[in-house]
Each structure stands twice: as structure tokens, then as C-alpha cells.
Amino acid sequence: MKGSIRIDQERCKGCSLCMEFCPKKAIFLSDTLNVKGYFVVSFDEGRECTGCATCAVMCPEVAIEVFRN
């Protein structure tokens, strides 16, 4: 099963919880600062994502949307 996620980087506060709990380690902390002044996370397109939505479940900012085939 192939999935992908969309991160609303303006909502992201870089708490890393999505990253930490992603079973596929498909999220990484970027060096992009958002308007709020946080370094935000990004989806690693190169990694396998199962669309399991674990990241969205963890995200305290409701910043992640998840898609799946």
C-alpha cells in the first residue's frame, strides 16, 4: 500500500512527534523556518509511506493530511 502526506508547514511547530512515531521514518526536520519562527518538518518523498496516518494521529497542530492509494 502506498501513501503520502501533506504537511501544512505554517501550522507545524516542529515538535517532531510525527517524525518520532512514523514507522517508516518518512518525515524529517527541515531547516525551513515558518512565519511563526519554527523549523518545520517535511515529508521525505523518497521514503516509503504506508499512509498509515500515524503521523496525523500524533500531530498536535492538525497539520498533516494523509492520502493512500
- Nearest Cα to 49, choosing from 3, 18, 1? 3
Cell numbers standing for residue 19 = 517524525
Say if CB 33 and CB 7 are below 8 A apart.
no
Q: Does 30 bind ligand SF4 (CB under 6 A)?
A: no
Residue 39: contacted member of another protein, ligand SF4, none (CB under 5 to 8 Å, by partner type)? another protein
Give the side-chain half-sphere CA count within 13 A for 44.
16
Q: Does 39 bind ligand SF4 (CB under 6 A)?
A: no
Residue 28: contacted member of another protein, ligand SF4, none (CB under 5 to 8 Å, by partner type)? none
| Interacting residue ranges for another protein, rule: CB under 8 A | 3-4, 10-11, 13-17, 20-21, 31, 33-39, 51, 53-54, 56-62, 64-69
